Amino acid sequence: MTTESRRSLVSLFSGAMGLDIGLEQAGFRSLVAVEKDALARQTIQANRPEIVLFEDVTEVTGQEIRERSSLGEAELDLLAGGPPCQSFSVFGNRDGVVDKRGQLVYDYVRLVSELRPKVFVMENVRGLLSIPVIPKKKLEGLPTEEKRHLTEPGSLLRMLLKDFEALGYRVDCFVVNSVNYGAPQIRERIICIGNRANLVAQFPQPLYSNRPEDNLPPFRTLGDAIGEGFEDPMPEVMNFSERKLKYLAMVPEGGNWRSLPVEVQKESMGKSWYLKGGRSAYWRKLSFSFPSPTVVTMPNHAGTSMCHPTELRAISVGEAAAIQEFPREWVFCGKTPDKFRQIGNAVPTRLGEIAGQVAQTLLAQMENQQEPAVELIPSRIEHIRPHVRTRIFWKKGRAFAGDVSYYEDNEEDETSENNQPSLFDEVVNR
């Protein structure tokens, strides 16, 4: 397929172009990118100098996009992008559309209305499933009936679906995990795919699995991405502090805070030790034997630690990019923290490619379709094994170094290993 024959793509909230790269791999041609962050724009220009670049999604119009790009008055095949997710993430403040970043979803809807793409792809974090239009804490002074509607969990996504349907688009929302499709990384996302031909999109079922009964190829691992033979094109690191390195030195490969003696756990974690939940990312060393956890923007935090499996350091820029499956030659602009921010905020290119294949199928169906049904098929949300468990850190009062599969039967080993040295003893006595 030549560049000219590829279907047209306009990208919003483009970032470092993780989603766009995947869509290009699926046969789309990037014409326009819209990105607010200055360093991310530099990254786009360094890698795709031919793309028409806009800065502010709140100011750009569909007509400007058409006039300044080669799209002209032709029909746009695909509009894609993920509105900033910080206000929707379960780890953020969850202020929804009260947060100015949350309001950018409406600019996405506006540009769908103005550009009238045949298909659109809107990506976001899983938290979008439960976020209300406005949190209860922000509702002072609003009428009671309005409060009830705006504060319901998931009301924002339901409202967005109604907005798209009012524009003539039916939408399929898929809650997925990148590791199920061959990415060496566990990363949950929601991908909404809309079309104006009243067709039902079908996202593929998982192609890889760690469950024996699924009879699928095994998940790709961190070792597949950055293991033996990996030559790091960007070895720069945001490393841990000396204090953090002291504790991480006590953790075996694939382990976390559970591998430390209780007194060291309390000393190193402070008040966090008393919190509920697994806190599996605290003092975490990665394992080559399992998929990487979700790549974060700051891998050197104690509570979201991404320590290299065999070297006492955080993962590098090049390693993070490889886990996200950016092309090896891809250039990231800015200082080391800026590069990590761009990589950590990106959509895995693998998910972009799968979403692009779904969009291509819809577009092919549209070419052969007669008049669509007048009554719009209701939009829907489908969960496709989004929550994936891969390894065990703690079970029945015993710490594991992360090298035990969640689906591995280790019950028979408990008695025989009770008299073995602890993981902590093994590390400090090496």
Strand pairing category for 7-12 and 28-34: parallel
The yes-or-no answer on residue 85 being catalytic is yes
Residue 115: which region, alpha, beta or left (left: phi > 0; alpha: psi -120 to 50)?
alpha
Where is 428: in which H helix or E strand?
helix 423-428
Q: List pLDDT tens digits, range 56-80.
A: 999 999 999 999 999 999 999 999 9
Report the alpha-carbon distance of residue 310 to residue 382 in Å, rounded.
Answer: 39
For the entire predicted model, the pTM comes to 0.89
Where is 79: in which H helix or E strand?
strand 78-81
Quickly tell me which residue has 């974090």 as its tokens.
125
Give all domains of the chain, ordered by start, each with its CATH number. Answer: 7-208+347-383 (3.40.50.150), 237-315+390-428 (no CATH)
- In the structure encoding, which two tokens stand for residue 132, read together? 């209300």
Report the alpha-carbon distance of residue 52 to residue 12 in Å, rounded.
Answer: 12
pLDDT per residue of the chain (430 residues) written in tens, 0 to 9: 566 679 999 999 999 999 999 999 999 999 999 999 999 999 999 999 999 999 999 999 999 999 999 999 999 999 999 987 545 433 344 344 444 445 788 899 999 999 999 999 999 999 889 888 777 666 666 566 656 677 788 888 999 999 999 999 999 999 999 999 999 999 999 999 999 999 999 999 999 999 999 999 999 999 999 999 999 999 999 999 999 999 999 999 999 999 999 999 999 999 999 988 778 999 999 999 999 999 999 999 999 999 999 999 999 999 999 999 999 999 999 999 999 999 999 999 999 999 999 999 999 999 988 776 778 999 999 999 999 999 999 888 888 887 889 987 654 444 333 333 344 333 433 3
* Residue from 143, 192, 126, 193 nearest 362 by CA: 193
Q: Which of 85, 192, 307, 333 is catalytic?
A: 85
Dihedral over alpha carbons 245, 248, 253, 255 (to 10 degrees): -160
Q: What is the pLDDT of residue 371?
A: 76
CB neighbours of residue 5 within 10 Å: 8
Q: List pLDDT tens digits, range 197-245.
A: 999 999 999 999 999 999 999 999 999 999 999 999 999 999 999 999 9
Report the alpha-carbon distance of residue 30 to residue 40 in Å, rounded.
Answer: 16
Do 121 and 191 touch, CB atoms closer than 8 A?
yes
